[in-house]
Amino acid sequence: NFKKHYGKELAELANEFEQELRSRYIFLENESNRAKYYFGRKSIFYKVCPRYVARRVKEAWDKYVEKDYKRAKIIFEEVLNVTDSYIPIVGIALCESKLKNLKTAIDLVSSRLNEFEHTANYFELEFLLADLLAENNRINEADSLYKLLIYQNPNRNLTSLAKFRHELIKTDSLIQPYLTSNEVRKYEILKSLNLEIYHYSSFPFLITLSDEAGIEYKDLLKIFTKPFVVNDYESSFALYKLSKYVCLKSNFELARKIAALSIRYSKDHDFNPILKHNFEKMDWLYKNKTMINDFTITSN
């Protein structure tokens, strides 16, 4: 009984809460896409037991990891026959890509995309389609989709990925060699990308690839010798990620400096508390580095 306990009916409380949200936050036209990403879900219909589907999907991904793409594709197709989940669509498309059947993969994703409208899966399939088009050297079509995703801005990760891909296209059309290369080659591509000027959208992927490719920490740092300019979300997020990585290497002084630079951009009110917390953490670690080092030595 809302009236009894809160003095107002539920509908009135809900309306007041909505007005409060609107007074605190500015809702942009394309914010609805973010809502669709986080809250939109497609009802999944299973003709068989969901546990069976989950087991078969795991088997398919295991075969994919083992590079048995033909067998993985067969299992994904079996799953797609008994459910309308987007997972087997992604699986089949990736298998077709590995088997050099890019047109088949593109046709599959294109034909099923609209089934997932108003859901997170729609944007994920949209991104996959853009990657497949880029692999197939249909660069203009791919770039149109990347730019559409940037405009839609469904979530930070997908938007950053789309911006990063767009940067690769703008810079000597590096997108196709990047998508089709192994980790070492991808790292070298991103390293060359940042030689003259920084492409901040590439930093998180450069950091991840350095680990996957077995690059020495000191060699990675050699890329970041130019002054940093922090004037937008991409540059701020890039330095946030870099400070966390440097911290993992116990270089607390440098991590603190980079974290301090990351908070120079303060127009993203949702991200500001994360940046502030990160700087406070790096500041504490720097001020207590002697104690931390002594504890590490004692523990070892």
Structure confidence by residue, pLDDT tens digits, 105-122: 999 999 999 999 989 899
Q: What dihedral do alpha carbons 93, 69, 202, 172 form, nearest 10°? A: -80
Q: What pLDDT, on the 0 to 100 scale, is given for residue 172?
A: 78
Domain edges within the chain: 2-32, 190-299
Q: What pLDDT, on the 0 to 100 scale, is given for residue 40?
A: 46
Q: How far, in Å, CA of 89 to CA of 41, rounded? A: 16
Structure confidence by residue, pLDDT tens digits, 200-252: 999 999 999 999 999 999 999 999 999 999 999 999 999 999 999 999 999 99
Q: What pLDDT, on the 0 to 100 scale, is given for residue 142?
A: 97
Q: How far, in Å, CA of 135 to CA of 244, rounded? A: 32
Q: Judge residue 67's burial from the number of C-beta atoms within 10 Å of its C-beta, 0-12 exposed, 13-18 middle, 19 or more buried.
A: exposed
Nearest to 121 by CA among 34, 44, 33, 37: 37
Q: How far, in Å, CA of 163 to CA of 110, rounded? A: 21
Q: What dihedral do alpha carbons 231, 232, 233, 235 form, nearest 10°? A: -50
Q: How far, in Å, CA of 232 to CA of 214, rounded? A: 30
> pTM of the predicted model, to two decimals?
0.78
Q: What pLDDT, on the 0 to 100 scale, is given for residue 23?
A: 65
DSSP string, 260-289: HHHTT----TTTHHHHHHHHHHHHHHHHTH
Q: What is the pLDDT along the chain (300 residues), one digit of tens a residue?
A: 566 766 777 777 777 777 776 665 555 555 555 554 445 455 454 566 788 889 999 999 999 999 999 999 999 999 999 888 899 999 999 999 999 999 999 999 999 999 999 898 999 999 999 999 999 999 999 999 999 999 999 888 899 999 999 999 998 789 999 999 999 999 999 999 999 999 999 999 999 999 999 999 999 999 999 999 999 999 999 999 999 999 999 999 999 999 999 999 998 888 999 999 999 999 999 999 888 776 665 555
